[in-house]
Amino acid sequence: MTKNIRIAAVSILLALGTSGCSSQVELVNPNIPKLLIEKIPLTVVVKYPDNFNHYVYEEDVIGDSNWTIDLGGANKTMFNNLFGSMFTSVKVIEEGESLDDLQFDAYIEPSIEKFEFAIPAQSRTKSYAVWIRYRLKVFDANGVQISNWPVSAYGKQMGGKMNGADTIKKAAVLAMRDATAVIGIQMDKATGVSKLSSAHGPAETTPASTVGESAKTVSTDEESAISE
Amino acid sequence: MQMEHSESTAFSSSKLPFLAITALLLSACVTSRVEDVRAIETHISAGEGVVIMAKSYHLGNETESKFISCVGDSLGRGSKRLKVVPNGAFIDSLFPWFEPRTAPAKTEGLATLMARPGVAKKIESQGVRYIIWLDGNTDRVAGGGSMSCAAGPGGGGCFGFAWWQNDANYEASIWDLKGQESAGTISTDVSGTSFMPALIIPIPLIARTQTKACKALAEQLSIFLKQDGSA
């Protein structure tokens, strides 16, 4: 009997101890509205990496706790909404699906390169911040890469009555909105994607690499500007 | 038991005026200053309203969302109330043009923004005539004193005295969307000192600096926007 009580007490203490040292953030269905922009008359095919279905970032913050930020499928939702607002026709293909039978003007491969966050204990401010760096590779209908564009997004939320996890969640949504805004406004200028319209004929670009040949990439590799 | 009760009431009654006067004296340490600079005449017609937004954090601004809500609520109440369009719905309806990175930083950018497809129509459909951009925050600028608390089997209590000073500095820039120009600015500077004496029980005497700044700014905004008496 006494042994059972001891085990129960130790278990409770362990549970309390471990729960006090971790912060869980789960992002479900971020609020990212449709874009109020003119659509580019293009038929695009999009392929997402596997981690867009379930992106999880973990970091042990020294002096704070172990943070697990689960973006779930939020990146996929964000890009589906974004490309749906930007182009007249969008088709998403899954891993293993071939491009051979598809008619399209542009093929886009978005990816997430880096995720970072800062809490008040680190930044010595009252705010929580999230940085996300995406990369968009754009190919023409012949599989020639015309652009390799990194997009840096930032979201900041002041700490208030909300707990740290909820505040980081808000900052992450703001970073995703920032990425959506930048890509929606600047993608054409940065990548020249609208020139790929079949109505314009073949794109006048210097071939940098082809689909699956990313090592040769040398085309547009500029950070997005702060404003248009 | 009844006697105890009456004794306690007598104690409270005799001490209450003293405590109230002390509280009033101590909590009245708030100073405020409101200034406005008018660039053009303002006029709000029936059906027209305002939207209140924080200046972008990309410009280093840290206005608290609580303060923005407070100014919006204050402007939307009372006999001089204005139509206040919720900023979240406004920003979402015009996405991506009012995000922290993309929102126009100066009135010079308004013409380009309004010329974008669908933007002017969306703004007009919501009846937004003026955008009020809020900049600034409330900061603790000084503090001192000491207080210690202890608890034991027989009870607990605190002893000491603590104080702190908060400064609330905010500026509201009013943009006329119809004229696509700046209508003026209103700034408010409120300073308040809070005290917490403790003799067994701590008595917080809080200077509501941010609330005072909010009310002062909302009142001045209301006067500024309804200058010619039209509603």
Would you say residue B80 has pLDDT above 90?
A: no
Locate tokens 């790929």: which residue?
A196
pLDDT (0 to 100) of residue B1: 35
Reported as a pLDDT band with limits 50, 70 and 90, residue A31 is confident
Contact of A129 with A166, CB cutoff 8 Å: no
**How far lies B29's CA from each of B22, B25, B34, B206, in Å?**
12, 8, 17, 9
pLDDT (0 to 100) of residue B11: 43
Task: Please indicate, yes or no, if residue A213 is contained in any of the structural domains.
Answer: no
Give tens-digit pLDDT for B42-69. 988 888 999 999 998 887 778 888 999 9
pLDDT (0 to 100) of residue A226: 32
**How far lies B176's CA from each of B90, B105, B173, B181, B192, in Å?**
16, 14, 10, 5, 33
Give tens-digit pLDDT for A89-124. 999 999 888 888 899 999 999 999 999 999 998 888
Would you say residue B128 has pLDDT above 80?
A: yes
Reported as a pLDDT band with limits 50, 70 and 90, residue B16 is low
The two tokens of residue A123 are 């930044």
Contact A178 B117 (CB under 8 A): no
pLDDT (average), residues B125-151: 94
Task: Please indicate, yes or no, if residue A227 is contained in any of the structural domains.
Answer: no
How much of chain B exceeds pLDDT 90, in percent?
71
pLDDT (0 to 100) of residue A84: 96
Locate tokens 């909404």: which residue?
A81
Would you say residue A86 has pLDDT above 50?
A: yes
Q: Does B58 touch chain A (CB under 8 A)?
A: yes
The residue among A111 and B7 whose pLDDT is bigger is A111
Give tens-digit pLDDT for B168-190. 999 999 999 999 999 999 999 99
| pTM of the predicted structure, to 2 decimals | 0.80
Question: What are the chain B neighbours of A227 within 8 Å (beta carbons)?
Answer: 101-102
Task: Please indicate, yes or no, if residue A112 is contained in any of the structural domains.
Answer: yes
pLDDT (0 to 100) of residue A214: 41
pLDDT (0 to 100) of residue A216: 34
Task: Please indicate, yes or no, if residue A48 is contained in any of the structural domains.
Answer: yes
Residue B82 to residue B44: CA distance in whole angstroms? 9
How much of chain A exceeds pLDDT 90, in percent?
57
Q: What residue numbers bound the domain in which A80 lies?
A: 22-200
Task: Please indicate, yes or no, if residue A217 is contained in any of the structural domains.
Answer: no
pLDDT (average), residues A212-225: 39
Reported as a pLDDT band with limits 50, 70 and 90, residue A22 is confident
Contact of A211 with B131, CB cutoff 8 Å: no
Question: What are the chain B neighbours of A178 within 8 Å (beta carbons)?
Answer: 99-101
Contact A36 B96 (CB under 8 A): yes
Locate tokens 């913050």: which residue?
A61
pLDDT (0 to 100) of residue A95: 83
pLDDT (0 to 100) of residue A7: 56
Nearest 10 degrees: Cα torsion B14, B15, B17, B21: 160
User: Is the Cα dihedral A210, A215, A219, A220 positive or negative?
Assistant: positive
Domain boundary assignment for chain B: 2-226
Q: How many CB pairs under 8 A join A and B?
A: 59
Q: Does B92 touch chain A (CB under 8 A)?
A: yes
Residue A112 to residue A141: CA distance in whole angstroms? 23
Would you say residue A217 has pLDDT above 50?
A: no
Contact of A107 with A42, CB cutoff 8 Å: no
Residue A159 to residue B137: CA distance in whole angstroms? 13
How would DSSP label each residue in A25-47?
EE--S---PPP-SPPEEEEEEEE
Give tens-digit pLDDT for A135-186. 999 999 999 999 999 999 999 998 877 788 899 999 999 999 999 999 999 9
pLDDT (0 to 100) of residue B166: 94
pLDDT (0 to 100) of residue A9: 56
Pick the residue from chain A with its C-alpha nearest to B63: A158
Task: Please indicate, yes or no, if residue A225 is contained in any of the structural domains.
Answer: no
Would you say residue B111 has pLDDT above 50?
A: yes
User: Is the Cα dihedral A213, A216, A218, A222 positive or negative?
Assistant: positive
Question: A55-60 and A66-72 as β-strands: parallel, antiparallel, unpaired?
Answer: antiparallel
Q: What value does the mean pLDDT of chain B take?
A: 86
Contact A226 B102 (CB under 8 A): no
Nearest 10 degrees: Cα torsion A208, A212, A213, A217: 50
b/e map of B81-115 (b: 16 or more CB within 10 Å)? ebbbbebeebbbbbbbbbbbbbbbeebeebeebbe
CATH number at residue A170: 3.30.160.150
Would you say residue B15 has pLDDT above 80?
A: no
Lowest mean per-residue pLDDT among A17-21, A166-170, A215-219, B55-59 = A215-219
Contact B96 A185 (CB under 8 A): yes
Burial of A85 (0-12, 13-18, 19+ CB in 10 A): buried
The residue among A213 and B67 whose pLDDT is bigger is B67
The two tokens of residue B41 are 């005449």
Q: Count up the domains in chain A and report the number.
A: 1
Task: Please indicate, yes or no, if residue A222 is contained in any of the structural domains.
Answer: no
How would DSSP label each residue in A117-170?
EE-HHHHSSSEEEEEEEEEEEEEETTSBEEEEEEEEEEEEEE-SSS-HHHHHHH
Contact A181 B117 (CB under 8 A): no
Of the candidates B174, B210, B168, B172, which has an alpha carbon nearest to the alpha carbon of residue B189? B168
Q: What value does the mean pLDDT of chain A take?
A: 82
Contact B96 A31 (CB under 8 A): no
Of the candidates A71, A186, A208, A202, which has an alpha carbon nearest to the alpha carbon of residue A137? A208
pLDDT (0 to 100) of residue A223: 41
Contact of A72 with A57, CB cutoff 8 Å: no
Contact of B231 with B47, CB cutoff 8 Å: no
The residue among A210 and B99 whose pLDDT is bigger is B99
pLDDT (0 to 100) of residue A100: 86
- The CA angle B213-B217-B218, to the nearest 5 degrees, is 115
